[in-house]
Homo-oligomer: A and B are copies of this chain.
Amino acid sequence: MGEELNERSRRILEAIVEDYIGTAEPIGSRAVTRRHQLGLSPATVRNVMADLEEMGYVISPHTSAGRVPTDKGYRFYVDTLLQVGQLDPQQKILIEQHYRLDGLRVDERLREAGKVLSAISSYAGVVMIPRFTSTVFRHIEFLKLSQGKLLVIFVSRSGLVQNKVIETETPISQHELEQVSNYLNQTLTGLSIREIKDKIIRDMAEEKSTYDQLLRRALELSREALCEEIGEQIFIEGACNILEQSEFKDLERMKRLFRAFEQKSLLMELLDKSQRAKGVQIFIGSESEYSEIEGCSLITASYSSSRGTIGTLGVIGPSRMNYSQVIPVVDYTARLVSQMLEIESE
């Protein structure tokens, strides 16, 4: 088990993974020798393959079939075998063309990014909307709805509009609400929500002594409005694309995947995890006890503003994914999106 793979085994594993990515069919020993000049006979390759199987990198679906990479095999491949090149300039241009998105809202732009990802990778694109807590305050507005209910609208520096409904016990007039809005807009602009949360807690402690009615109201409302995370949102675009993948001829499997898509919480969790990491993240198959996306891989990267990471986007497809192609695309897209949001907020 602890055995290091020697050069030859690596070459052969690489061959199996890459051929399998290309063909979606179990790779036999002869196929390896035929398609790759390794200077080895099929028999030798067979021996190596038996070793690889022993070590859990590949598996054969049945006695007389070729070998298929396991999750462990893919993992080894992406971690140590694969070298991701630069995105070729032509494709860069192709991607950039999709980002001439004048006059679109931030959320539309993000959704568009998902579409582009899916179109280019021909898997599914997924984009997580900036986490509320990671955004920078730009504007807030309170509107009175029915009895005791307020609509609060929040705009982040990048122009993302979010809103929620909060409840108040003590009645308040629309006029007062405007004053509160004004006050908050003056004092909070440019702060991140994280900072604001801290500030509010501090101010509330101080405020106990003061009796400024307006100030107290403003603090109360802003606490209600800002301190609770707005449900995170996630876009999944081009899910149909992965229907084309031959692994999803299996209806049952497909259903499970689509259920996972519909529920979103699972993906959310994964994206959230990758949010914290830097650079491109790769989740392979059921590596992390999520059986719903068994047989699938997720490639993600975070996008960020100058104030740090704010969201995550990526591609989800079968484990048998063209990693070398998709990874740079995801990476580049994350950069483009970061840039886009930055420009917007200037």
Contacts and interface: CB of A to CB of B under 8 A. Distances in A.
Interface string A9-44: 000000000000000000000000000000000000
A89 interface: no
Contacts of A145: 159, 344-345
A1 interface: no
Residue among A102, A103, A161, A243 with the highest chain B CB neighbour number at 10 A:
A161
B258 A243 contact: yes
Nearest to A248: B251
Interface in A236-260: 237-240, 243-244, 249, 251, 254-255, 258-259
Interface string A130-145: 0000000011010101
A184 interface: no
B153 A159 contact: no
A167 interface: yes
A343 B146 contact: yes
A243 B238 contact: no
Contacts of A151: 105, 155, 159, 161
A155 to B, nearest CB: 6
The oligomer's copy count stands at: 2
Interface residues of A, number: 38
A85 to B, nearest CB: 31
A346 interface: yes
A165 B262 contact: no
A236 B239 CA distance: 14
Given A243-B255, A255-B243, A105 B153 contact: no
Contacts of A92: none
Given A103-B167, A262-B240, A153 B146 contact: no
A146 B346 contact: yes
A164 B101 CA distance: 13
A-B CB proximity, top 4 nearest: A161-B163, A240-B258, A243-B255, A240-B259
29 contacts: A102-B167, A103-B149, A103-B166, A105-B151, A105-B163, A105-B164, A138-B143, A139-B141, A139-B143, A141-B153, A143-B159, A145-B159, A145-B345, A146-B344, A146-B345, A146-B346, A151-B155, A151-B159, A153-B153, A153-B155, A153-B161, A161-B163, A237-B262, A238-B262, A239-B258, A239-B262, A240-B255, A243-B254, A243-B258
Interface of A: 102-105, 138-139, 141, 143, 145-146, 149, 151, 153, 155, 159, 161, 163-167, 237-240, 243-244, 249, 251, 254-255, 258-259, 262, 343-346
Given A141-B141, A249-B251, 19 more contacts: A103-B149, A103-B165, A103-B166, A104-B165, A139-B143, A143-B155, A145-B159, A153-B155, A153-B161, A161-B163, A237-B262, A238-B262, A239-B258, A240-B258, A240-B259, A240-B262, A243-B251, A243-B255, A244-B255
